[in-house]
Structure formats: C-alpha cells, structure tokens
Chain A
C-alpha cells in the first residue's frame, strides 16, 4: 500500500476498557522488538509464526509501545487451530518476573494475510486465554519479510485493532449466533523507534566480525576517533556542496545555507587544543593506572589460589 491509511478516530473496539476516548491510536515498535520479530519470521516452516507482544500502554490506551515479544507455538490442522496456551502462560510469567512493567498488548503474526484463523488467534489473545489483554483491546501486528516472489524485502509492519462485527455480547448470546473469531480489522499507523545508543550498537554489529577489535576501555577512544573521522567526512561533503554553489555549478538551497550559517556561527564554550590534549593525556594515564591495578590484583588472587592449594595438599 503506497498511500498511508486513514486513521483519525479510534474504532469501537471489542473490549470493555476500549474506546473510552476517540483519540487515534499510535503504535510504536522499539528497535529491539523489531529485531525479535524479524528473527521470528525466519522460523517459518509452516504458514506463519505467531506470538505475544509485550510493552507499555498509555493510560487512555491511545499510545502503545511494543518492547518485547515471544513466540507461542500453534498447530493448524484443517479447520482446527491449537495454540499452546501453557507455553504462553509460562513465557508470560517468566517475562513478568524480569520486566514487571510490561503488559500484554496483543499478538504478532508473520503472515500478512488476514483470514479466519486471524480471528481465532485474536480471540485467544483478547479473551480466550487465562492470560489475555482483557479488559483492554488487543492489537495485532503483521510482519512481512518476503514479497510474493519470496525475495527478502525490508520488513513491512502493519498494525491493526479489531472492532466487532454484527451482534455482540448479550444480544448475540440471546440470538444464539456463533461469534468466535469474527472481527473487523482496522489498520492503524505505526512507527519504529530507536535510540542513538542502539544505532551505534548496530553500526558495530555491521562491522566484519573477524576484525581485530580493541577490548576494554580502549573501545571508547577508538569509537571517538571513528566518530571524529565520520564527522570530518560530513564536513567535507558540506564543503564540496558549498564549493559547487560558489562556483555557480548548482543553485544553493537558501534554507540550508541559512541554517548552516547560523549553526556554524554557534560559539560553544570551547576548549583550546592544548587544554584538550592535556585532558586526554590525564584521562589515558588514569585509565592505564586502573588497568594496571586491576591486573596486579588479578595476579595476586591467582597466586593466593595456587598457594592455598599447595598448603592444603601439604596438610
């Protein structure tokens, strides 16, 4: 879908605590959760892998942040769907122990198709299991990592909320209508959020693994030096652009120019080059001292362990 979905009011959701306000929903997915989801999609032996989404729900339920997820196995034989509820419960209890703040938000599926099973799954997470999002409405997230020709594509995430279809509650019971798994899924916008720290970590992961990476706190200096390198690379790029503008090769973007001039004229409380060098050397000396002390202590400990074992064998 190339144009965004229209979502300005929250649909009437099939849950007691849903729809208290009409403000549109915002779903954000943390980068680490996205990685988990992408990983889940490679387990694909059957038609889909599904699991639970954990995260934070704002008080009015209009902002939902997916932080964590786990896979819940299921079997799909003919028209029957068996979800391993026991696994779901034990996983939930485990994650609750490590992260008591995270609540169950809904579920994900690696199949981007919505079919009758989707409704059954949604039932399970909305109210079917002893651990479900009830009374809050559940969200559903689909992740697509391959296109129709089975080529790997950038993960495509679509999130949905479900609203009831036809009769519901007491009326449905009264009329004896089977309501299991009938939902209208409304797409809601979502976005992936990440922090600078995660981005830096990712840039390290991207590096070839067999590179001789420095260990200990030398990493800090190497990273700093690399960052400085990339920063001067950026400065070079801007400089090349500016040169082109001055030589009349291209028409300069006035807005960009103004912003540049105003930012470059910024005068932060600067440190002189000499003072900086002095600070750096001090820092290096300090960290060397700490490393030296740590290493001596380790040697001492090893020595004492050896001695103890000798003394004990003597006795």
Chain B
C-alpha cells in the first residue's frame, strides 16, 4: 500500500469540483461550462483535464497541493495515470515552477514553495508502482527542484534509498551512477560527510567504477576530519586497482598505503616530492599530517597499559607541556580511550583503535584474547552458580502456623 486518495464520489463530481476550483481562481465560469457535459467515458476527457495545467500551476501555495491531489485522483480513475502524467509534461512544468531562491525560508508570498512541489512529486512517486520507469524521472526532478531552490538538505534522508529505487525502476548502472555522483557533488560543500558516504557507495557497490571515482573518494577521505578508518578504504578493490593506473593514480595509491601504515617519515618525503598530488586531490598536506600524528600513537600504545608523559614526549617528539593536549586530541579523534593522571604524569590506556596492517598475526592475537575472556567468564559463572546453590540451601522454609 502506498499513496492513496479516498473519495466516496463519482467521477463527474470530482471533475466538477476541479472545474469549480479553477473557476474560483480565474474568476470566470469557463471551466465549469467546459467540463459540464463530460464523464469518464468521453473521448479525450483526461487530455482536456490536463490541458488546464497552466492555470493549476498558477494557484497559490495554500490550495496547490490539495488541488493537485484532486487532479491525481481524477487521473487514477483513468487507470493509466502513469502514461497520462508522462505525456502531459506535468513533471517538467512542476520543475519549472520551483522557485529559485537561496534557501528554504526565502520564498515570496505568491509563489509555490519548493517543499510543496516536492510533496506533490513524492505523492506521484509513491502512487505509481516501484518498477515504473517514471519513478526515475521523478527522482531526478526532485533533485532538480532542490538544486533550483538551494535546499539540498531536504535530500539527506534519501541518500540510502536512492540506489534501491533506481534499480527497482530498472535504471541502468550508468544512470544510477550519474545520479549518485550528481548528489555527491551537490552535498560536497555543505555536507562533506554525506558526500563521502555517497562516494563510498559509488565506489564499493557499482560495477562501472573508474579510477577517477576512486581518486575522488580518496580525496574526500583524506580531507575529512576522521581518518581512523582509512584502512576500510584502502581495502576497496577499486582503490587497490589504482596501483596499476596512470602516474597520478599510482601516486594516490602510494599515499593511501603510507597513510594506512602511518609512516610519518615516509609521508614527509612523499609530501615534499609530490605537492601537486595534494593539490589535485584537494587535500591540505598540513592537516593530513596532523591527523596522521594523532594516529601514530596507537601504533605503539596497543600493548601498553600505562604511558608516562615523558615517554610520549620523547617517542613522538612533542614538547612535554603539550602532551596532554595531544592526548585529548587523540581521544577526540576516537583513537584512544583512557584516563589522564596529572599528578603522576601518566596516561592509563583503556582502549586503542587498531591502525596499520591487519593480518594473520592480529587474528592470532584476537584468538589469544578471546581464550582469556572465555576463561574469566567461566570462572565468574562458577562463582555465580555457587552463590546460587548456597542461597537455595540457605533459603528459609515457609513456616505455617497450625490452625
């Protein structure tokens, strides 16, 4: 079940209401007279109804959606609403109507709000079957409307489903990609995280990925605030394929490897030799360096429980009075968890994110740790069970006073 209109009425009643509404707006009796003798069997009746679109589109925002609902209802009675909508150019006219403004709030009193237009479009979208190719057109139109009215934020909730809808409607992979890339570019400035997520969807789940898509993704990852999970990008096949691409692609691939293994010295070398790569990726080398510096601590903190400030200072060549600030940055970035002890100048490590390579060695470590956990759990369970039996034995018997 999806969008549905319930009206307990005959076709002619709906039609006359529609005519009266248009008349009330144009202050004539033109449409009532024109539609008076029509019923659902009259030839070309729906085409006649749709010929009123220009008048309908000049309605005020308040009545706009309700009248469109009525129109949609009339069209559904024909049983071929989909083709009627397609032929009449209804969608294109709606898009043309969208106000061009700098945001959701700015709209003039007379024009129809962008949200109202999107609401009508989504009603039609939900009305027609999910396999209909018209759905693709509607989605594209909605994106167009938001572009025109600079209200991209409206689209944020649909990023996850866009691909699904396109595929259900039978869009080709190229079409899906174009739409996703379009959306990712739309979000790039204001919502970099969403844009990054979309790029990842493109690179990981579409078959027709190019090296360019992969480098765009890497550019977004490296310039984003959070690179603790860079490994998850490094292992994407399309990103790995960069290693055998053009010269630029190879450089990017090299950079990903350096960042993934957090080799600061190598990074510095790479940076001085390849500044043009950073420019092309739109990544600030200094910011990236700072992020890597935050990550580097997890490389040697994994096996330790306590870290004295002095050690951090010497190991990472940070002045001792900045160690605390550095650790706080690490915690903020989600690399570390733990407690600072100012009086004894020690950091107690609770948890460290795992960076760098991950292989058999690490899995073995996991196994060892799991076995320890299993052992401790068993011990605890025994304690609890013992307490349980002890308690049962010690439970007072119910005493009844004899009558």
Q: Which residues of A contact B (CB under 8 A)?
A: 1-12, 22, 24, 112-116, 118-119, 142, 158, 163-168, 171, 175, 177-178, 181-187, 218, 221-222, 224-225, 228-229, 231-232, 235-236, 238-239, 242-243, 245-246, 252, 254-255, 257-258, 260-268, 273, 276-277, 280-281, 283-284, 287-288, 291-292, 295, 299, 302-303, 306
Contacts and interface: CB of A to CB of B under 8 A. Distances in A.
Given A12-B116, A116-B7, A6 B126 contact: yes
B235 interface: yes
Interface string B368-403: 011101101111110111111011101110110101
Interface residues of B, number: 93
Interface string B144-170: 000000000011011001001100100
B5 A165 contact: yes
A264 B373 CA distance: 8
A31 B173 CA distance: 40
B6 A281 contact: no
Given A168-B66, A281-B390, A225 B161 contact: no
Interchain residue pairs A-B with the least CB separation, the first 4: A116-B8, A166-B70, A22-B115, A119-B6
B263 to A, nearest CB: 18
A258 B130 CA distance: 39
6 contacts: A22-B115, A163-B66, A185-B3, A243-B367, A255-B232, A264-B370
A252 B232 CA distance: 13
A247 B3 CA distance: 53
A184 B387 contact: no
Contacts of A10: 115, 119
B366 A184 contact: no
B347 to A, nearest CB: 12
A183 B5 contact: yes
B380 A273 contact: yes
A187 B3 contact: yes
Interface of B: 1-9, 14, 17-18, 20-21, 24, 63-67, 69-70, 72-73, 104, 113, 115-116, 118-119, 122-123, 125-126, 130, 139, 142, 154-155, 157-158, 161, 164-165, 168, 229, 231-232, 235, 302, 305, 337, 349-354, 358, 360, 362-367, 369-371, 373-374, 376-381, 383-388, 390-392, 394-396, 398-399, 401, 403
A263 B161 CA distance: 31
Contacts of B65: 11-12, 163-164
Contact of B387 (A11, A167, A252, A283): A283
Contacts of B376: 273
B162 to A, nearest CB: 10
Contacts of A119: 6-8
Contact of B351 (A165, A243, A263): A263
Nearest to B400: A302
B119 A246 contact: no
Contacts of B8: 116, 119, 181-182
A262 B352 contact: yes
Contacts of A186: 3, 119, 122-123, 126
A118 B8 CA distance: 10
A11 B390 contact: no
B339 to A, nearest CB: 10
B358 A258 contact: yes
A273 B349 contact: no
Interface centre among B164, B396, B398 (most CB of A within 10 A): B396
Given A1-B1, A184-B4, 19 more contacts: A12-B64, A112-B1, A165-B69, A167-B20, A175-B20, A186-B119, A232-B378, A232-B381, A235-B373, A239-B367, A239-B371, A254-B232, A261-B365, A273-B380, A280-B384, A284-B390, A299-B401, A302-B401, A306-B403
Given A3-B165, A166-B67, A9 B119 contact: yes
